[in-house]
Amino acid sequence: MKRFQLAIAALAAVTLGLTGCGGGGDDSSSGGNATEVKLYNDKGAWKTYFEGVGKLSKEQIGLGVTPVGYTDLPTYEAFIKASFRTNNKPDLFTWSTGGRLKEIVDSGQVADTSDLWKDAIANGDVSEELQPYYTIDGKQYCVPANVSYWVMFYNKKVFSDAGVQPPTSWADLIKTADTLKAKGVAPFYQTSVLFSFVWFQQLLIGTDPQLYNDLATGKAKFTDPKVVAVMQQWKDMEDKGYFSDPGSKDQPEAMLKSGKVAMGLFGTWFNTNMTTQGMKPDSDYGMFVVPNVTPSLPTTTVAFESGPLCSLTKAPNPEASTKFMKWWVQEKAQDQWANSRGDVSANPKVQIKDPSLNQLNKDAGEGKYALANRFFEAMPPPVLTAALDGFGAFMVDPGSYQKQLENIQKASDEYWKSN
């Protein structure tokens, strides 16, 4: 309730601010001769990356980019939603997939990008596997601002000292965890703050990816026996001491570097966290795709996150916004964008400088893996909030898994009752 009240307060403040600002964008983003677009985003730390892409877009298509970054998500969301009702609208803005995207599309505010997607897929600039996550009622909206695949990062020295290799099956992964624990190293990193969903997500998509998808749409219950079995498996891993302290304040990249933990499940964006610690990819650390828990599944399922880059139906300059998005998905733009951040790209043609990331980008782009939308985006917001709290509580008291699932299901029932 407190979080809701803060969001409402932020929305009211932003609405008043926008009303006072009056209408329209500035001269650089209005009319038919735009030379600049303002890109509002919730990634304030990425200012330099956006500016780098803006410099390239200015050279190639005559459109520069002015990033307007936020670091507080509720304030950012409040601003974007308030802009729907004012004349001060963003040229472009970042958002998230899943229920949050559907919410603003259903409001009629987001520009249709179906033709752009058709051309991009035909040109090989966007993987067809991503299209469903940008499709609502048969049409596409926005384009991928970023893509990250969730893989296991590991300390190569710790692995070498323990005499283990990246596993190729779930049984191998558990055997590796046993070996590492016997050496006095916590096999896996975990946290009860924000990313408390990670191991539930990984265990479920590796066991029954369809059940995972059904939870996200209300077709299945968190109290389903198969979901309970996943929680029991997670509890067994907790009981065996496979995980780091979920309440630790130490940064995961520092824990991996020091060897306090051997492995950590993260999006490929975590690659930058590792390099800023002075660690060298493929030398000090590596990464691998986590094998399915159920070996009989036909394809390995990988969780991914993709943040949309969107334009409004009533953008200050729809032509300029569309022009930029068409350029954005192409190889030259994505090469600059992905390699500057040290991450993968939605464009499978891009050559990523890091060899491991490049292979992953190629394999995922060619459909080698099945994709599962990250839990954070896949679940409706009220269900997500209950789940994050429930999984965090479970880490403190693994024996409470049934109670936590029941609490999450209550939130799910309440949401789907009116949606």
44-55 confidence digits (pLDDT tens): 989 999 999 999
Model pLDDT, residue 32? 53
Model pLDDT, residue 210? 97
Domains (range + CATH), the chain = 2-147+305-367 (3.40.190.10), 149-303+375-417 (3.40.190.10)
User: Of 265, 114, 106, whose CA–CA distance to 187 is shortest?
Assistant: 265
The DSSP 8-state label assigned to residue 278 in this structure reads: T
Model pLDDT, residue 88? 86
Residues of the chain falling short of pLDDT 70: 1-32
Q: How many CA atoms lie within 13 A of 405 on its CB side?
A: 21
How far is the C-alpha of 197 from the C-alpha of 193, rounded, in Å? 9
CB 133 within 8 A of CB 374: no
Residue 38's H or E segment, with its range, is strand 36-41
Report CA 56 to chain centroid distance, whole Å: 25
Model pLDDT, residue 419? 86
How far is the C-alpha of 71 from the C-alpha of 318, rounded, in Å? 26
Q: Please tell me the pTM assigned to this model.
A: 0.85
- Paired tokens of 64: 């520069």
Residue 22, burial from CB neighbour count under 10 angstroms (0-12, 13-18, 19+): exposed
Residue 64's H or E segment, with its range, is strand 64-69
Model pLDDT, residue 193? 86
Strands 301-310 and 285-288: unpaired
- 3-state SS class at 262: strand
Sign of CA dihedral 271, 275, 281, 286: negative
Strands 36-41 and 64-69: parallel
CB 207 within 8 A of CB 226: yes
Residue 309's H or E segment, with its range, is strand 301-310
